[in-house]
Amino acid sequence: MPSEKRDRDQAPSRGTTAGARIRYLLDEHYPGWLADALVADGVDAVALIAHRPELRGADDGRVLTAAVAEGRIVVTEDVSTFGVAITLVPRHVGVVYCHHKRFPRTRAGLEKLRKALAALAADPPPGLGEHPVVWWIADT
């Protein structure tokens, strides 16, 4: 399993912004299969719940710090708590917020989120993946 983790961490992403690769860390409310589906789409993604179990239950500041260490953008629904984390970890490379009503945690809702995240990785806003950009993801 360690080689699978290493391969996933080093897998290239198609999305770029001025040379930066878009790399996602899906917060703990997203399943591992969602990250795996994004990887199958050519997007570098890991799910906290499946690929970073040491972060389960960790406060959002620790999750964001881990994302910074890996050059990953956190994908989350937790607006208020990640807002606090952003002030504590200002040198992050991005946080993408997903509204639970727009992307419910059903199979259909998460498939819709997969498509939206893949589209965002393919055509990111300026600075996402390089600078502390905070972005609300829209429907595809």
- Short-list 70, 62, 69, 20, CA closest to 45: 70
Share of the chain above pLDDT 70, in %: 85
Find residue 103's DSSP bridge partners: none
Q: Note the pLDDT of residue 4.
A: 39
Instruction: Report yes or no: 137 and 100 within 8 Å, Cβ to Cβ.
Output: no
Please say if the pLDDT value at position 2 is more than 50: no
Q: Note the pLDDT of residue 28.
A: 94
Instruction: Report yes or no: 32 and 80 within 8 Å, Cβ to Cβ.
Output: no
Sheet strand arrangement including 73-76: 44-47, 23-26, 73-76, 95-97, 134-136
Quote the CA–CA distance of 68 and 73 in Å, as a whole number.
8
Q: What is the CATH number of the domain that holds 57?
A: 3.40.50
For 89, the domain range is: 2-136
What secondary structure letter does DSSP report for 20?
Answer: E
pTM of the predicted model as reported, rounded to 2 decimal places: 0.85
| CA atoms in the 13 A half-sphere facing the CB of 124 | 30
Find residue 8's DSSP bridge partners: none
CB atoms closer than 10 angstroms to residue 25: 27
Instruction: With H, G, I as helix, E, B as strand and everything else as coil, classify residue 74.
Output: strand
Residue 5 pLDDT grade (very low, low, confident, very high; cuts 50, 70, 90): very low
Number of domains in the chain: 1
